[in-house]
Copies of this chain bind each other. A is one copy, B any other.
Amino acid sequence: MTWLDLPADSLFGVDNLPYGVFSPAEGAPRAGVRVGDLVLDLAAALDDPVFAQASLNPFMAQGVARWREVRARVTELLTQDRHRAATEPHLHRLNEVTLRLPIEVADYVDFYASEHHATNLGRLFRPGTPPLTPNWKHLPIGYHGRAGTVVVSGTPVVRPKGQRKPADAEAPVFGPSVRLDIEAEVAYVVGTGSALGESVAVADFAERVFGVCLLNDWSARDLQAWEYVPLGPFLGKSFATSVSPWIVPLDALAHAWVAPPPRDPEPLPYLADAGKQGLDLTLEVRLNGHRISNPPYTSMYWTGAQMLAHLSANGATTRTGDLYGSGTVSGPREDQYGSLIELTAAGAKPLELPDGTWRTFLEDGDEVTLTGTAPGPSGSRIGLGEVTGRILPERPEPPAFWRT
């Protein structure tokens, strides 16, 4: 229990305690822990300068023993009455602070770990061939994305421009994307890295990964379709990737671990499961406030532990602040798809929203919000927070004489 006045069904009770970075009304950005609709200023409450910084990276770099120590201490402060007087002054109201990108992103990788999503996209992008490529069930397919365009929830997304080739055209045209999409994902944040030439074993996942957040991998499908052969997605993805402001530590997910789906064929030994490393997370996708999907993370073929083992199997360094996304989370049912290209069959079946409008892809002014929850203790739920973004119209090029 806690001395805080929290509703019993709060998604941000003392079993959650996710980490973020906030700017108070006055003063520099600093690390905080969310509880209810409040943020605890860690630098002040714990009197530790590692938290008086604009990213969680310095704290994450201290390692898993320290993460557990801090979580235990924060739990103590928020649950024992004797700490109330000293702790209360360091709590800020959420609506009086600005939430910031919680980590300094080192490398960003995005995987493709949902069998349903990969199958759906294979059918749409490569009709007439088997939807899953021959490698898909042998390794978690992934690629590097642009770390510099990972932005925090709430950051507006300017409609990207680029080349696309209309089906009936001889040559590509350049202009704003006309097939702007979302991808509902879960992402993992690496807390402590590994040296060049090393690999991180599947079993070592929990001592390397600090926590999880939600991620929207905005995707310009027309740009992507034209550019992605042979070296993969580039401008179709690199214009923006939004993340939720709260990193939920793995220890808060104690009740969420589940066995992943059966795999056939058996993965190679370096990808063998080490316990229940699947996660029972439920996502929700809202478009302009209307729920359009509930992707179930339990259906993901590859686990976060397998993704990390794979990405470091070749000896690649991992670093504090590395971020890797699961890829779009799509379940088997149509109301569980995590992208508009799937929800609308690539635009062939527009989606009617409850406000009477129809959508294929995103229009200017549209706002997309992903939320997620996980099982907590005793049938409760904990929240992953939300990641939201609104589409702004393409930015016009300034005339040449404006440039200096």
Contact = CB atoms under 8 A, between A and B. Distances in A.
Contact of A144 (B139, B145, B268): B145
Interface stretch (A10-18, A49-57, A155-163, A252-260): A155-163
Interface string A121-141: 010011000000111001101
Contacts of A148: 106-107, 193, 316-319, 322
Interface in A240-281: 240, 265, 268-270
A166 interface: no
A113 B109 CA distance: 24
A133 B229 contact: yes
A288 interface: no
B204 A161 contact: no
A235 B314 contact: yes
Given A197-B158, A234-B143, A397-B199, A239 B314 contact: yes
A226 B143 contact: no
A341 interface: no
Nearest to A142: B234
Interface in A301-349: 310-311, 313-319, 322
Contacts of A231: 112, 141-143, 228, 232-233
Contacts of A138: 163, 171-172
A316 B235 contact: yes
A397 to B, nearest CB: 7
Contacts of A401: none
Nearest to A225: B135
A201 B165 CA distance: 22
Contact of A161 (B134, B199, B223): B199
Contact of A163 (B139, B151, B228): B139
Contacts of A287: none
Contacts of A126: 230
Contacts of A233: 143, 231-232
A312 to B, nearest CB: 9
B144 A146 contact: yes
Interface string A346-382: 0000000000000000000000000000000000000
A255 B395 CA distance: 37
A314 B232 contact: no
B238 A316 contact: yes
A160 B314 contact: yes
Given A125-B230, A151-B196, 16 more contacts: A107-B148, A126-B230, A135-B227, A139-B227, A144-B144, A144-B145, A148-B317, A148-B322, A149-B316, A161-B199, A171-B265, A174-B269, A220-B314, A231-B232, A239-B316, A315-B395
15 contacts: A107-B147, A107-B148, A133-B230, A135-B165, A138-B163, A141-B231, A158-B196, A160-B314, A162-B314, A171-B265, A197-B392, A228-B230, A232-B233, A235-B316, A239-B316
Q: Across chains A and B, which 4 residue pairs bring their CB atoms closest together, nearest first?
A: A232-B232, A160-B314, A158-B197, A144-B144
